[in-house]
Structures are given as structure tokens and as C-alpha cells.
């Protein structure tokens, strides 16, 4: 069951353009700021223009760089130039797998050592909520390092209510394990490409009911539970959402 901190809450304020509008965001991507990515942010945004011309409504990306948060980087000029929302987050290593963190603040970065690859996952999730952020298990079905394996070993994660159900970098069977986890535990699911190469951006997306323009709105939407994971092709075709995610 969900931890109390993770139960969806009503949005505290109506977002601009939130009536009748929806948005697809890639919630998991890496630029050259991460040590294992070959893609620049501008390359991603140029590729999104290609996707849009092909009919894929990709609205934006979240850069979840490994073991860091780029406070010093301002992507607003590029975002405006290409008409793509560019948000920042982190992907952090813990003793219970990787976690995507949205809504990172200076205070959170002071309380948590982002470079610590053995940090306690529960401590991270609790610290994130104290600072108005959200920590979500990444690729939970990944063999060897995903949340599924830790739960199977008997570990408990009362703070978890959302996981990355669709990951574009997963091997065969891994997203299926994540889907089964969501069905068993009642978790909500997000989608992200886990892109490290330009052409991989947008492979998996998260469909939000209202537009999102900053990290605060992203956290608010996640806590409200008004989202669902989709494959890129489903975004263009308007296909039904993944069945394990509640319908709006």
C-alpha cells in the first residue's frame, strides 16, 4: 500500500493553460553533463522538432543527470528558441537502486550527498518530501538493481507510491516486471526514455492532464496523481494508457 506521504492530493492551484490542455513530458534523460551520455541538450531539442513534424506531440524533457544537479545551467534560452519545456532533475544512486528526483532545491542538495552511491533510499525519499521534492524509483524492473529485486528480498518501501513504469532503455522483460510491481503494490507509473543518445529522446513519455512549465508544477502534478505513462507511438496515435495506471 501507499505511504501516507504519497497519497495523491488535490492541486493547490490551477496551472496556466490547465483547462482542456494536456502535455507529454520525457521524465528521464541525460545530456553530456552526465558522464555516460553523448547528447547535448540542443541536440535533443532539435530531434524533438523532427518528432513533432512526424506527428509526435512531445512537449518537453526533464534532464535527470547522474549523481548531481546542475544549479549553474540555464536552459531557458534554448527552451524558448525551440519551443520545448526543459526542466532539471537528478538520478541518484542508493543502496536500493536508482531514484529520479524532481523539484531539487538547494536545501535538499545540502542535506543529501548526491555523489553518495550508497545512500539510504528511505532517507532520500523522506528528505525529498521535506524539501518539496519527489524521489521516484527509476527502472524498478531492471535486473539486479531495480526496486523489484529489493522488494523480493523482503525490503519495505512505505514511502514509494510512484515508480518509473516505462523506461526506454529497459531490456526485454524489465518494463513487464515494473508493470507487475505496479499492479501488485498499487503504484502509479511514469514514463521516461532514459536517453543517452539524441535519437532515443521521447521513447517513453508521461502524459499529464495539464501543461507543466517548471519543476514546481511537475512536483504538484505528480503528487496529484494526474498522469500516465505512454510509449511514443501511443502519444501520436492516441492509444489507451497502460492499464495499470488509473484513468482520469
Angle at CA 62, nearest 5°, toward 236 and 51? 30
Task: Output the pLDDT for position 236.
Answer: 86
**pTM as predicted:** 0.89
Is 166 part of any domain? yes
The model's pLDDT over 61-80, given as tens digits with 9 standing for 90+, comes to 999 999 999 999 999 999 99
Distance CA 37, CA 85 (A): 20
CA max distance for the chain: 49
Task: Output the pLDDT for position 15.
Answer: 34
21 pLDDT band, cuts 50/70/90, is: confident
Quick one: average pLDDT of 84-111? 98
Task: Output the pLDDT for position 238.
Answer: 65
Quick one: average pLDDT of 9-32? 64
Q: Output the domain CATH number for residue 73.
A: 3.20.20.140
Is 1 part of any domain? no
The model's pLDDT over 98-125, given as tens digits with 9 standing for 90+, comes to 999 999 999 999 999 999 999 999 999 9
* Contact by Cβ (8 Å): 165, 244: yes
Task: Output the pLDDT for position 156.
Answer: 96
Task: Output the pLDDT for position 11.
Answer: 35
Name the residue range of residue 92's domain. 28-237
Q: Given a cut of 90, is residue 18 above it in pLDDT?
A: no
Task: Output the pLDDT for position 149.
Answer: 97
Number of domains into which the chain is organized: 1
Quick one: average pLDDT of 173-190? 98
Task: Output the pLDDT for position 246.
Answer: 42
| C-alpha closest to that of 63 among 26, 115, 24 | 26
Is 16 part of any domain? no
Distance CA 167, CA 175 (A): 7
Q: Given a cut of 60, is residue 7 above it in pLDDT?
A: no
Q: Given a cut of 70, is residue 248 above it in pLDDT?
A: no
Is 186 part of any domain? yes
Q: Which residue has the cell 539486479?
A: 144
Is 43 part of any domain? yes
Task: Output the pLDDT for position 10.
Answer: 36
Q: Given a cut of 50, is residue 14 above it in pLDDT?
A: no
Q: For all residues of the chain together, what is the average pLDDT? A: 90
Amino acid at each position: 500500500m501507499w505511504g501516507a506521504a504519497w497519497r495523491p492530493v488535490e492541486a493547490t492551484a490551477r496551472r496556466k493553460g490547465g483547462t482542456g490542455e494536456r502535455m507529454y513530458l520525457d521524465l528521464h534523460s541525460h545530456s553530456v553533463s552526465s558522464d555516460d551520455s553523448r547528447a547535448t541538450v540542443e541536440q535533443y531539442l532539435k530531434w524533438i522538432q523532427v518528432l513533432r513534424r512526424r506527428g509526435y506531440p512531445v512537449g518537453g524533457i526533464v534532464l535527470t543527470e547522474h549523481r548531481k544537479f546542475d544549479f549553474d545551467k540555464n536552459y531557458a534560452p534554448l527552451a524558448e528558441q525551440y519551443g520545448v519545456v526543459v526542466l532539471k532533475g537528478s538520478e541518484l544512486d542508493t543502496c536500493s537502486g536508482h531514484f529520479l528526483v524532481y523539484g531539487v532545491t538547494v536545501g535538499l542538495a545540502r542535506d543529501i550527498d548526491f555523489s553518495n552511491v550508497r545512500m539510504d533510499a528511505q532517507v532520500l525519499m523522506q528528505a525529498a518530501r521535506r524539501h518539496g521534492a519527489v524521489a521516484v524509483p527509476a527502472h524498478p524492473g531492471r535486473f539486479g538493481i531495480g526496486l523489484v529485486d529489493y522488494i523480493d528480498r523482503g525490503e519495505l518501501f512505505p514511502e514509494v507510491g510512484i515508480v518509473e513504469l516505462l523506461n526506454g532503455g529497459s531490456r526485454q522483460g524489465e518494463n513487464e516486471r515494473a508493470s507487475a510491481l505496479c499492479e501488485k503494490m498499487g503504484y502509479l507509473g511514469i514514463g521516461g526514455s532514459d536517453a543517452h543518445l539524441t535519437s532515443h529522446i521521447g521513447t517513453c513519455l508521461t502524459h499529464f492532464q495539464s501543461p507543466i512549465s517548471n519543476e514546481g508544477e511537475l512536483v504538484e502534478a505528480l503528487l496529484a496523481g494526474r498522469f500516465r505513462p505512454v510509449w511514443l507511438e501511443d502519444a501520436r496515435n492516441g492509444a489507451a494508457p497502460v492499464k495499470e495506471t488509473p484513468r482520469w
